[in-house]
Every structure is written in C-alpha cells, then in structure tokens.
Structure 1
Amino acid sequence: MFRPHRRERAAMPHSTRPSSGRVVTVGVHPHNPSLFVLRRLGVLEPMLARLGAVVEWVEYDDGRCTIDLFAEAEIDFGGTGSMPPVQAQSEGVEIVYVAVSDPRPGRVALVVPADSSIRTVADLRGRRVAMTDGSCHSELLASVLESVGIGYHDIVVLDGNADENRSAFESGEAEARVTGDPHVAEARRSGSLRVLAEAGAEIADRSVWWAGRAFAVAEPRLLETLVRALRVSDAWAARHPREAAGLFAAGVPGSPDAAAWETALRRGPWGLRPVSADVVAEQQTAADRYVRLGMIPAPVSIADAVLAPVPALLGSAGPVVTAASASAYGTG
C-alpha cells in the first residue's frame, strides 16, 4: 500500500528543549482535529512544565505518515483514524492504543456526481475511485465492497491527498471519490453529489490516539497529561466551533472555507473514550477484513496493543471540563 514520505518535523516556535527533563514529541496533522486544536491553544505546555517536561510538535499534512514517524521513533504520541494503527501493528511497529472517539457518522462518504450512471456500490467494479489509500477512506471502501462481493483490487484506486482527489474527480479522471470532512460538508451543501455509502452505516470511523509502546510504559504520567490536555482542548472546541473552524480555515492551505469547517466541527464528536472490549472487537473485525483483501502484510491481534486504561479516562463519559477550568489554560 502506498504511503507518502513524511514531511520534515517542525518544532513549536516558542517551545525550547530544557537542559534536563523529558521532551515529549507529538505528531500533528489536520485530519486529527483534536490534536490540531491542542497544538494551537497552548493547553499542553503548562501542564507538562509542571512535570519538568516540554512538548515538541511534529507537523505534517498526511496522517498516514504517522506510521513511519512511530516506526522511526520520531514521535511518542499521535492520532489518526482507525486504519493506520492496524497497518502499523501489521508492519511490526511497537504501538499501543490509548483512547478513541465516539463513532463519527457521516464524516466520510463515498460519492459520485449527481448525474452519474453509477447507482450503487455494485456498479463500482472496474471503476476509478479517487481516495487517500491507507486511511479511513480504505476502511469505508473495503467494507462496502466486501458487502456486495467485490474485491478491493477489483476497482482502480487513484491515490492522492484531498486536493489531488478533488482534482481527479472534478476532471472526470475518477468516476467516484471517497472524501471526508470538511469536504463532505461542502459537498452536501452544494447538492452536486450523490452519496453511495458513508461512515456510520458501514464503519464506526473513530479517531484513535496511540503511542509508542516504550513511551507509554516508561512515562505513564506524561501519557496521562496528554490525555487530560486533549480533554480540555476538546471541551473548548465543542463550546467554540466557530472559533475552532477559524483555526482550521487559517491553518490548512487550500481547504474549504470556515463555514464548511464549522459545519463539520459542530458534528463532532469531541472527547476521548477508553479502548473498550467493543472497540477491540471492532478493530479486529476491520483488521481481519484487511488481511482477507490483501490490504495489510500480516494478521494482527488488536488486544496485544491495548494496555490498561489511562486513569483520566476511567469512568468518564466525555470531556467534563468547565469554562472556568478551560480559561485557566488560556482556552476560554
């Protein structure tokens, strides 16, 4: 499966490495909204400082690069959709699951032009589909294709980033497209597309936060601090979707406007959940499907990558944070 070379790391301009103490490296890309917001709010830095640690942000555009960054020990913590950690585990990368989001229905969709002759998923055999291979796009497509008896390799995948996929689709080079928010929100608003399948009915499409195993085992306090900081910034984003949308519109070149981002971000969900037995089963089902379809190099046991829950997640139903506590970190 194709995966682009990662972007060079970019340290946070005002962060400095302490003469002593732990540097926590965190991967950030716009396809994990929680980490994208966290990096811009300044919530994590004072929380780590109390532990004598500092964060170094590693920024890149393509979430699939998270696998290589973990493999090269260039990040301690990151977040993606649910397929990359399965891919990483299949490739022998030592990672562990930390937390997941609630399902994100409607956030990713398989679409065709409104006037397309493609009426159902079964019509996709031999057709060209623009998508970001190895992401939640692959997860959705694999699920719907298998449900109608079509193999993943019975279609022609045109792999690219969001801009490349859009260009291929609009030029007619691709006959269908898998895309995610805010592009889904923009497409629904335009009325020019027809949805063949979407997350929710076919896949849960959760965000997954994961860590290098060595970091998770050696630094449980730092890992818990990351989770607590994410809960604070997620609570801020849930209360301030318009302001959060402005961060994305300004920080993601070539993306849809702030209105599309706001629509997407209002849908959420925001908040972190522990990795439950149901989530493990859900991930295992997906992993087994990837093996059957030849999408990953080796079978995996998801349970082997799950440690005891981070205490900050135990008994939580989401980000229980007051506006006052968020303001204490400069987020209110």
Structure 2
Amino acid sequence: MTTGSTGRLLTVVGARPQFVKAMPVSRAIARTSGLAEVMIHTGQHHDAALSDSVFRQLDLPEPAENLGIHGGSHGEMTGRMLAALDGVIARHAPDLVIVYGDTNSTLAGALAAAKAGVPVAHVEAGLRVFDRSMPEETNRVVVDHLSRLLFAPTRAAVGHLAREGLVEGVFHVGDVMQDAVLAMAALPDQGDGVLRRLKLTPGAYAVATLHRAATTDSAISLARAVSYLRQHAARQAVVLPLHPRTRQAAGRFGVDLAGLTVIEPLGPIDMQRLLAGCALVLTDSGGLQKEAYFHRKPCVTLRDGTEWSETVDAGWNRLWTVDDYRPRREIDDYGAGDAAERIVATIARFLGEDLDAPRAMTGAGR
C-alpha cells in the first residue's frame, strides 16, 4: 500500500458473536484514513434473530454479499464457503482478510485468503482448550498457522502461540468483546426493557445458553446439559434464549425443556441487559464466559474445559465438573475498551509496508 492509497480490507463473518466483535473494529476502520472495509456474510447464522436484526441493532453496514451458506456437516459447509469465498476474493481483490474467532466461516475465510496469497488477520488468536475433538479447536489452530497478524486477547493466548512456534506478527491487544460490551451499554433501550417484557426481577434469575455442537449433536450430551439447568431451576429461575440448533436437537432427541424459562433468541443489546440483571450465567459458549465477567457475574461453564482459563483462575468462572470457585480477583488481560483501535492501528502499519518484504513484526504487546 503506497502513500495516499486505500488499503482494502475484506471482513468475513458468519455467526452472531462475530457480528458483535466486528462492530468496534469496523467503527475503528471507518475512522482510519487510508482503510476501506468490505464485509462478507457467509450465511452460517441465517435465522433473522441471529443475523439480520443484529446488523440493524449494532448499526453495522449491510454486508456487501451474503453467501447464504448454512447447514450440512462441518466439512460440507466449510467446503461450500471456501469455494464461494474464492470468487469473493477475486472480485474484491483485498489487501488483507480479517476473520474472527473459531467458526467454519473463520476457517473458510482464512483458507480462501491464504490460497489466494492474501494476508490474514485473526482476531481472537491463540485460544486453546487442548481438545482436538472440538471442531472449534481445529479451526483455531489452523487459522492461527495461516495468519500473518495474530491478535491475541490475553497473555495466555500469546503463550499458546509461542509454544506452537508462532511469535512473528503476534500482538496482545486485549479483547474486542470488552469494546463491544462497553459500546452496547451506552446505547439506549429499544422499546420496553427486556426485564420488564419478561417480567424478571433483577438478581432473581440465571441466564443460560446452549448451542455448541459438542452439546447438541448427541442425545446424551444435550440431556446432560439440560438436566444440569433444570436442577438449578429448582432453586432459581433459569432463562434460556433458545438457539435454533438447540431447539431442533431437543425435538429430535426428545429432550424435555420443562422447568426452564425458554424464550426466543435475543438481540445483542437485549442480551446485555439480561446479563446485567442476572445473578448467574450458565453456558457452553466461549464468549459468554467473558461477557459474564464484563458484567461481574459468576459463571458456570457447561463443558470440561475452557479457552478463557483466566476467568477460572480469577474466580469468576468454574467448570461444571468443579464444585467451588477460586478466590476472586480482577482480570487485567482484556484491556480498557481499546482493543479495536490497537488492531486497526496495527493493520494500517502492516499495510503501509511492502507486503513482499520480509516480515519483522515480532509482537508489540501491551
């Protein structure tokens, strides 16, 4: 990218958490002279509550293209995305492709870019659960090894990358979800408050989510997770915004959701309001573990491991296989709401160099 030219950034998203993470980064790109962004939606989350309405609520520009790809096995979905994104990259000729997190859309975006010789920037690089049976773990590892810029949210993530030999282009920038939560907290309520609509008393309920493939792909795992929630619901109301995948799985496996306060999926702003008023979070999600911390709510992770180990170490989170929390303390890894600015400033510096020159970006950490 020469002086006075515009660096073309192609952002690939497909799942609702990625839309939320992209919000602060897209805003920072728009404020940066010399950068222009094109957003591509793979269609992985196609339900209106998980997709279209989120763009409107977050005031994100409509994607330049929606590929409409969803359903099928992990391999089938990723393959269809890869083929479609090959054409997208040819049409838009970006200087850099940005991907977020650990979904099939993340993997397809990184693979398509790498095969086209376009540098990849991975936001949320370096997260590890050390369980290769999780599709998300495979996606993380592969994408990190394809990426030229690796934006790590925590020091632990930087360490994971270093142990895999990845030290060049690694930056500890903090967590863009912290940026997003702060931005959403500043937005006004849209219509009646969600607690009023649901007739919930602040501090008198727990929030739960279930959607991971490891939870929903077998009757045994889904029944185990739902049973855990129902046991808690005997003591305190458990509000479950039900993901379409989980609804389908419960119907297919005959898993009874009675006793839980089941609601439709919420938009990101209403979800933040729901979290702010709850007493506890119960989830198999990665991102919601951090969001619980951002609201200073205790969390139980309904999995046998977590990619956000610092939330466990700091006493705000525990695995469902553990009875007690560790002593509680604050977490300083996530930053002060400036992760997006750090990411975009690094991208601008990167594109300001000769992309064919040997790289010498060896981890300007926080």
Q: What TM bracket, shorter-length normalisation?
A: under 0.3
TM-score (norm 1): 0.28
RCO (CA 8 Å, sep 6+): is it higher in 1 or 2?
Answer: 1
